[in-house]
A and B are shown apart, each in its own frame.
Chain A
Amino acid sequence: MSDLDARLADDGGATASEAARAARVPSFDAVRARGDRRRIRRRAAALGAAALVVAGAVGVAQLLSGTIGAMPPPAQMPAPGHADGVRAVRTVPDGSWVRSVAAGAGAPSTLAVAWQGRSAMVVAVTADEFESRAVVAFPTTVDVTAAGDDGPFVVSPAFADDEGRGPWLLEVDGSVREVGLADEPGPAEAGEVAVAGVADGRQVLWAVDPGAGVGHPVSLPGEDEPLGLGAQSVAIGEGRISALVRSADSAGTRYAWSEDGGGEWSWTPAVPETVEAGVLTSLSMVPTGGSEPLVVLETDVVDNRLLSVHRWEPGGTTWATVDPVGDPVTVYPAAANASAGFVWEGELRIQGSRLGPDGTETETGVYVLDGDSLGRPHRSPTGSADSVGPRVVGFEDPGSGMPAVWLVDDTHPATLWRSMFGGGGWGSWPAR
C-alpha cells in the first residue's frame, strides 16, 4: 500500500470531523429567512412566467369571444413621464438577465423585454426590433404581457412591493400610466387582457382594459386559504386560465381551470405526485387552451430532471401519467420553477437537455414527447454543455395556429431566439 493509499485509508473521517469542528454555524433564523425569501421568489417567478404566456397580442377574454381585431384602439397616452416610482433610463444595466418577453402579433417588430438587474428592474420596448427603443425602470420586479398588435404592454408586478403599485400600461414610446384598479372582482371580459401578478404575498389575476387604462381583480380559486396556500401558480392559455391550488384540507395539489375568464372554475383531483424517499418534486403547468388537455410537468427540485408528465383530457375523470424512459431530460425552467413546456400542433414540447449518468448535459434543445419517449431534440440555436441551457422566456399563441416560442441564452442575453416551428428552426432578434 502506497503512502497515499495508507493516508486515505487511515483518515477514517478525521478530516470531516476536523472541518465540522472548524465550521462556522449561521443562525437558524437567518437560514430560515433565506428559505422563506427563496419560496417567495420562486412563487413570484412562476407567476411571471405565467404572465408571459398570455395569448400573444390579445387577451384571453377576447379569444374566448372571438373578438380578435375588434379591440377598440388604445386611448391616447400621456407624454412620457411617469407614474409613481417609474422613470425613463438610458440603457439596460450591464449584468441584467431576461425575465420575460412579450411581442406584438405576427412579425414581432414590436417587443417588450423585462430585464432583471442586481439593483434595477427595467423594461426595454421597441416598435422596430430595437433599432430605436425606450427603456423604463420600475420600482419592483415586473413581467410583460402584450395587449395589442403594436402595444401597449401590461407591466405587472411579479414581486409585490410594500406600496402595492402596478400594474402599468407601457406604450412603445416609453410612456407609462398606472392601471386604475377597481376593488370589485369579476371575470375577464371581452376587450380585457388577463395578466397574473403578485399582491399582498399572494398570486393574483387582473383583467386590464388597455384602451381605458382600467382593470379589476379576477377571483382565483383558493383565495380563502391561509397565506402560503391557495393558488400556487397561474397559467394563461388560449381561452383558458389555469391554477395549481393547495388547500389546508387536502394533501395534494389540485388543478383548477376556467374557460370563461375566471367566472367559474372546474377542478381535478390531486395531481398524482411522485412519492419516493429522498425525492422532492415541483409541479408546473404547461399553458394549454382550446381542446387541449391539461398538462402538468413534474420535475426533481434538485436537478430539474423531468420525472413525469401528467395529463387530464377534456371531459376526463382521471389523471394519466407518463414517466419518460431513457436517459433523463433536465428541464430548463422558464423562470425559476415555471414550465418550459408548450404545445405545438398537438404535441407536447419541452426545452431541456439530456442528463448523462455523470451529470453532464448534452443534446440541448426542444424535445417532443412521443408516447413515453422524448427522442432526439430539435437542437437549440445556441448554448453548450457548459452553459445552463437556453430558457423559454415567452410564448405567443395568438389563436392563429402559428404559435411561437422565445428563448434566451443567459450567456448571451442580448440576443433572443424565436421559433415558429416548435423549436425546429430559429430566428434571432435583438433583446434591447
Chain B
Amino acid sequence: MKGGPGSAPDPIRTCFDACYRRLVGQLYGVCGDLGEAEEAVAEAFARAVDRRRAFERLDNPEAWLRTVAVNVARSRHRRRELGDRILRRTPPPPAEHRDGLSDDRMALVAALRRLPAGQREALALHYLADLPVREVAATLGVAEGTVKARLSRGRAALGALLDASGHDPGDRPGTPGENENGPQSDAVGGTHV
C-alpha cells in the first residue's frame, strides 16, 4: 500500500516512523548489541507487513512489535548458539561500537549480556528502557511477580559478576577476558529463571 494524494496513509508506515527508533532503543539492552536490536525490530515490522490485515486490527501495535522483536532476538540467538556449539565456534566478538553510544552505557549493556536471558530482558526493559513492570510482563509474556523476581535476581547476579571480574560497568566493553570466564557469553537467550 503506498500513500498518495487522496489515499489513507499506510498504518504500518505511520507506526514505523513513530516507533522504530524507540523500539530499537528498548531492544538494545535486551540484545546487547545495537545492530542486533535494529535487525530484530526491522524483522518485527516485516512480520507486520506479512500479516497486515491482522496487524491493523491491533489495539496496541507498538506493544505487539516489541514482543515480536524480543522473540525474534531470542530465536535468532538460540539458533546461532546451537550452530556455534555444533561447529565449535569461538564466542562472539564484542558488541559493535557505534557513535552516539557512550562507553559507560555500552559497558553496562555488555555486563548485562553475561546474565541469563530472563534476567537480562527484565533488567533491560525495566531499567534501561524505563518500562513499568506490568508492561515488561506483558512484553515477555510472564507474570508481574516473575518479572519482579527476575529483577531482584538479576541485580544480585550482575553485582556478583562485576565483583568477581573486578570490572566496573564503567570499563570499556569487550575488554580482554570478558568472554573468557563469564557464565554466559550470549547476547540473547541462555538460561531463563
Which A residues fall within an 8 A CB radius of B?
2, 4-5, 7-9, 11-26, 28, 31-32, 34-36, 38-39, 42, 275, 277-278, 280-281, 301-303, 357-360, 386-388, 411
Contacts and interface: CB of A to CB of B under 8 A. Distances in A.
Interface residues of B, number: 69
Contacts of B45: 28, 31, 35
A410 to B, nearest CB: 9
Interface of B: 12-13, 16-17, 20-22, 24-26, 28-29, 34, 37-38, 42-43, 45-52, 54-55, 57-60, 63-64, 67-68, 71, 74, 78-79, 81-82, 85-86, 98-102, 105, 108-109, 118, 123, 127-130, 138, 141-143, 146, 155, 158-159, 162, 169, 192-193
Contact of A19 (B13, B81, B101): B101
B49 A31 contact: yes
B51 A301 contact: yes
A278 B140 CA distance: 12
A176 B102 CA distance: 61
Contacts of A11: 108, 127-128, 130
B70 to A, nearest CB: 9
B64 A35 contact: no
12 contacts: A4-B155, A8-B128, A15-B29, A16-B26, A18-B25, A18-B105, A38-B50, A278-B63, A280-B51, A303-B71, A358-B192, A386-B81
Given A16-B29, A280-B55, 12 more contacts: A2-B159, A5-B155, A15-B108, A15-B128, A18-B105, A19-B25, A19-B101, A22-B99, A34-B42, A34-B46, A280-B58, A411-B86
A159 to B, nearest CB: 16
A15 B192 contact: no
Return the 3 tightest CB-CB contacts between A and B, nearest first: A35-B49, A13-B130, A20-B25
Contacts of B20: 23, 25
A359 B59 CA distance: 25
B25 A278 contact: no
B123 A8 contact: yes
B82 A23 contact: no
A281 B54 contact: yes
Given A25-B21, A358-B142, A15 B50 contact: no
A360 B141 CA distance: 13
Q: Looking at B43, B128, B146, which has the most chain A CB atoms within 10 Å of its CB?
A: B128
B59 A32 contact: no
A251 B28 CA distance: 38
B47 A38 contact: yes
Contact of B47 (A20, A21, A35): A35
Nearest to B63: A278
Contact of A22 (B52, B57, B100): B100
Nearest to A43: B50
Contact of B142 (A21, A32, A357, A360): A357
Given A4-B159, A11-B128, A386-B82, A23 B60 contact: no
